[in-house]
Amino acid sequence: MGKRIENAYKTVNKDQAYSLAEAVKIVKANATAKFNETIDVAINLGVDPKYADQMVRGVCALPNGSGKKIRVAVFAQGEKADEAKAAGADIVGAENLVDSIMAGKVEFDRCIATPDMMGMAGRVARVLGPKGLMPNPKLGTVTADVATAVKNAKAGEVQFRVEKSGIVHAGIGKASFTEEQLTQNAKAFIETIMKAKPSGAKGTYMKKVSLSSTMGVGVRVDFSNL
């Protein structure tokens, strides 16, 4: 264990759950790597995602963005393709986009498609699916309003999906953000997960929440007052 991490552990009581503001302050103070660390929130949920009625998945619009530059690809043609380009999409195409993806060029972080292009997008589902990039109506990435979808993605909208272990997590900002910005983003994400409670969830839904930075230690969050 390096000195930096060792010193970071000294600032955290692993048996204590801190208020969100306190947790943000501790995590930000310990994010001292030589690069702009990502601040991540991880939530342990009382669900079993192998059952459809216990799946937790969706999107969250962070008030202050994620601090990450999101590259957006759009399956669209004609007027919709023009709208996507005008909104700031990095890649817009149809058959040519399929060919590019099949050739292994997945140079984007979000993929959007107009409803009429889903047949074409389906041809690369085996490539995009495992990467979590397949357009999905539930995530707002299959839509006729491509301009809004592109703008939302660029503005810092984050997607989330619970893992097999029942954990859902997301990057909610950078160490360079102010404490207030990180607190607002973390609160927005936690509240979004609370509202996304599936019908099949039994017992305690939200078990544990923690914050950490890329190279830092985890800090438990007391979410009872959120």
Q: What are the backbone dihedrals phi and psi of residue 209, each rounded to the nearest 5 degrees, phi first?
A: -130, 135
Pairing of β 157-161 and β 167-174: unpaired
Residue 156: per-residue pLDDT: 84
Residue matched to tokens 């503005």? 155
Across 14-41, b (16+ Cβ under 10 Å) vs e yields eeebbebebbbbbbbebbeeeeebbbbb
Residue 74: per-residue pLDDT: 98
Pairing of β 206-213 and β 219-220: antiparallel
Residue 13: per-residue pLDDT: 83
The two structure tokens encoding residue 193 = 């997960």
Q: What are the backbone dihedrals phi and psi of residue 85, each rounded to the nearest 5 degrees, phi first?
A: -65, -40
The two structure tokens encoding residue 105 = 């060029």
Domains of the chain: residue spans and CATH: 15-66+157-220 (3.30.190.20), 72-154 (3.40.50.790)
Residue 8: per-residue pLDDT: 67
Bridge partners, residue 208, by sequence: 44
Low-confidence ranges of the chain (pLDDT < 50): none
